[in-house]
Amino acid sequence: MVNRLKVIAPAVMAVAIALPAGAAQAEPAPVTSPTTTCDATRTTPVYHGKVPTPKSVLGFDLGEREVTTAESDTLLTAIDRASDRVTSGTLATSAEGRALKYAIVGTPRNIRNLRAIETSIKLLRDPLTPAPAARALARNTPAILWVAGNVHGGEESGTDAALKTLYDLAGRDDCAAGRILDNAVVVILPTQNPDGREADTRRNAYAFDMNRDWFARTQPETDGKIELMRKYPPQLFIDAHEMGGTEYFFPPNADPIYHDIAEPAVDWINNTYGAAMIGEFTRRGIPFFNRDVYDMFYMGYGDTVPTTGFNAAGMTFEKGNASPIAARTFEQWLTQWVSLSAAAARKTEILTTWHGMYADALKQGLEGRLEPNQVYNPGNEVITQVPDRRVRHYFLRADDPAKKAETDLVVRRLQRMDVQVYKLARPLTVKDFKAYGRPEARTTLPRGTYWIPLAQGQKHWIQGMLNEDTYTPFPYFYDVTAWSLPLLGNVSGGSSGQVLLPAATPVRPVDAPSTRLTTPRRVGVLQMASAAQNAGESSGWLRHRLDRDWKLPYQVLVPADVAAGKLGDVDVLLVPDGPANAAATALGEAGRTALKDWVGRGGRYVGWSGGAQLAALAGVSGVTLAEPSSDVPGSLLRTTVAGGPLSEGVGSSVMQFYAYDLVMRAADPAHVVASYPAADSPDWFLSGFALGAGELGGTAAVVDEPVGSGHAVLFAAEPNFRAFTDGTAKIVANAITADLPATRARALVPAPDASRAAAAIPDRESPIRLTVPAADGDKVRTALNGFGATWAEQAATGGAVRFTVANPGGLGLHEHPWAGRLPGALRTAGVSPLAVVLPQ
């Protein structure tokens, strides 16, 4: 049966909602008055003695040393067993088989009534719940507050502090603890990355930075966490990290802030929680900073996703890891306790406002109104404004069978964030349809097209996931600037601002698509660098794709294996990013000769980024490579795709993720598989931030070069970025499985020009990049000299100058001794950067 979705303006919503029997308000929790004299942190703790102390369980007090993952689980379980205020469970299992344990703590009444609380929270999240009913629910329903630690395995103190918070809530009977318990249930996830914690590495076992994985949910640790958040949607989410130094960071955040975030949530972050922590840390004389370094833009963070997807106050906390564990644990606990207390004191107001954000989102969707860009910190100016164009609907085409898996994955990701998705029951003519990267045009969409109206409570999340562009408001980049799901998946679609009421049917939950690959070819992965290095991410992302998505057997090789003749067991060699010059040296003359001979005899070399550079260095390929002069810190650019086996199921174009990658030119234009169109072409399209990206026009993104009886398939940039660029990953899959045209045997002639050009490109591990007007060059040099930095300079677009600052060891921002202080130093020096990219 066809159902017509009738979107009704909030002004005429007179929906009578009967609260279900057994809902939380049937057994109201006592509410502590916010006017009480009870102080959150100066109240003397009173323990009732029924919960075992951490020392009695572990043999030491929290803060004496860092707990192990097993000790964290042991203490959590012991507290649960002893307390009727706690229930616990496992939300996921890591790649190495470790459980992600969580605890929920509240009054015994609220713990018994968790299912009823779920129902009440669901009604508060429903934009159609009338305001009077929402106010009643807000008075009688506890808030849901989350504390999560250790998403980066080497940043341990968030776990230890979260365990102390759990112990205090379970074991204290004083008014400060009682106020939190009476007004909230607190979900505590001590460690989000148990494998990384045990290995003392930032990343997980597949080298994923899981504070970049939130929207894609490629890792089970992330996926399980968000599924639990859907069950217990937060109004506050604390994500506890560590950084270099001894200071503490908490919000307000640095600019940029993503435009389509509900403003009340930002206000909570800055003026409720941020203000409370500023007051507490100032009173105690604890060094802290805010409005610097940590932005709130990319939709992969543990603050942006809770804020945009759940209208929570998502907050990143960072404690300097140079402090001893006792200080780190205490200060992390202090920010958790102060934030939980501030939420509890304003619980009814917060829940009422929380419902109002969903109602307002529905209204915005009905009006087709996108939130504008703004900056939040003094002295900053908006560089890009959100276009003044109505957007009421997004559509995804479903009429290309070759892209069914990618389309299903986009729909599944939307549904699993509670977005309502529909299918057109009959063709629909849209007068102002704007296909991604194309002008508006009258278009008839076929029956079966997916329709995602913005008139729903998840409007902000829909815009975050289906946008054509992120409209970067401020030129500072802690991470990437483009992540639209259809663009990543190479799924056709677009938007409309027209008022439409199409005949449509709700889409049932979509199962995870199967992308298994089969091939008789034996596959090898050449890992150029240690998995502990940042370049090891590319290898980890590839291993994840091979193991979990494609389920394709492979063997891992290192340069010494190639020199030792082990390529005889491999038909396809996948060479992800890495330090190419160092790898070429490690191969030695014997290894480089073995690699050339293997390809010439029919081997298939498939390399990207540093892997493409290594092919040129080894004389396998004649492509020429150069460093870019543009500033593209992580954006999506359309490439034009030629026909042939490598483009099977891809189509005539695909979006390439690009972040300061090499500029590649083929020795023979006939070898080009995908290329960037000219910058003045109607096919040119970029989503995200870029300065000078026109230099890519006409250059190659992918080549398939015949080499003797074999092939070198090379990608200038990463085609499997974080394992969510599914559009270009399909070309990698084709490069493994497709029958490529047989090539005429020819002598392998070294390409000295190509090799020399590749050798001139230095190996760089996560450099700092800074582009400024030439007039500011001396100020930057003075600032960098003050830090003892070394750097290279090159001319950039528009007469600017680019500083590429060496980062020995590829330190991330959290480990780097001074990178986090660079933005402040530039501001003090009066520098107005065109682009600042810090190491991740």
Using DSSP bridges, classify how beta strands 768-773 and 800-805 pair: parallel, antiparallel or unpaired.
antiparallel
| pLDDT score, position 3 | 40
pLDDT at 109 > cutoff 80 = yes
Who contacts 414 (Cβ-Cβ below 8 Å, separation ≥6)? 421, 452, 462, 465, 466, 485
198 by DSSP, 3-state: which? helix
CA distances from 697 to 429, 659, 684, 718, 732 (A): 34, 15, 8, 18, 22
Q: Does the structure show a pLDDT above 50 at 437?
A: yes
Residues ≥6 apart with Cβ < 8 Å to 450? 395, 396, 397, 398, 407, 411, 421, 422, 423, 424, 493, 507
| Average confidence (pLDDT) over 107-123 | 98
Confidence class of residue 9 from pLDDT cuts 50, 70 and 90? very low
- What whole-number distance in Å separates Cα of residue 383 and Cα of residue 351? 34
Distance CA 484, CA 775 (A): 36
Residue 194 buriedness (CB in 10 A; 0-12 / 13-18 / 19+): buried
Please give the average per-residue pLDDT across 361-390, as a whole number. Answer: 97
Strands of the sheet with 184-189, listed across from one edge: 86-93, 99-105, 184-189, 143-149, 236-243, 313-320, 248-249, 288-289
pLDDT-based confidence at residue 839 (cuts at 50, 70, 90)? confident
Per-residue model confidence (pLDDT) at position 533: 66
Instruction: Give the residue-averaged pLDDT of 12-41.
Output: 47
Q: What confidence tier does 6 reach under pLDDT thresholds 50, 70, 90?
A: very low
- pLDDT of 184 reads 98
Rounded to an integer, the average pLDDT of 314-335 is 98
State the Cα–Cα distance between residues 801 and 374, nearest whole angstrom: 27
Taking only the tens place, the pLDDT of each residue in 521-533 is 999 999 998 766 6
Mean of per-residue pLDDT scores for the chain: 93
CA 172 vs. chain centroid, Å, equals: 37
**What 3-state DSSP class applies to 88?**
strand
Mean pLDDT of 815-838: 88
Judge whether residue 19 has pLDDT over 70.
no
The domain limits of the chain are 78-363, 393-506, 523-627+660-673+694-759, 768-837
Mean pLDDT across the stretch 609-622? 96
pTM of the model: 0.94
Q: What is the pLDDT of residues 779-826, one digit of tens each?
A: 999 999 999 999 999 888 888 999 999 988 788 887 888 888 898 899
Would you say 720 and 629 are in contact if contact means Cβ atoms under 8 Å apart? no
Can you give the pLDDT at residue 765? Answer: 83
Which of 194-198, 451-455, 645-649, 813-817 is predicted with the least confidence, judged by mean pLDDT? Answer: 813-817
Least confident of 279-283, 459-463, 652-656, 770-774: 770-774
Confidence band of 57 (pLDDT split at 50, 70, 90):
very high
Average pLDDT over residues 434-459: 98
Residue 255 CA to its chain's centroid (Å): 17
- The secondary structure of 599-668 as a DSSP string is HHTT-EEEEETHHHHHHHHTTS---EEE---SB-SSEEEEEEE-SSGGGTTT-SEEEEEESSPPEEE-SS
- Cα(404)–Cα(407) distance, integer angstroms: 5
**Cα–chain center distance at 770:** 23
Neighbours of 18 (CB within 10 A): 7
**714 pLDDT higher than 60:** yes
Range 265-293 average pLDDT: 97
Helix (H) or strand (E) holding 826: helix 822-828
Q: Does domain 523-627+660-673+694-759 have CATH number 1.10.3470?
A: no
CATH architecture classification, 768-837: 2-Layer Sandwich (3.30)
**pLDDT tens for each residue of 191-213:** 999 999 999 999 999 999 999 99
User: Which of 31-35, 134-138, 409-413, 493-497 is predicted with the least confidence, judged by mean pLDDT?
Assistant: 31-35
- Tokens for 197, please give them: 């914690």
State whether residue 388 is helix, strand or coil: coil
φ and ψ of 240, to 5 deg: -95, 120
Asked if the domains 78-363 and 523-627+660-673+694-759 are classified in one and the same CATH topology, the answer is: no
Structurally, what CATH architecture does the domain formed by 78-363 represent? 3-Layer(aba) Sandwich (3.40)
Q: pLDDT tens across 58-84, in order? A: 999 999 999 999 999 999 999 999 999
Query: Taking Cα atoms as reference points, which of 119, 175, 164, 168 lies closest to residue 144?
Result: 119
Q: What residues are labeled active site?
A: 318
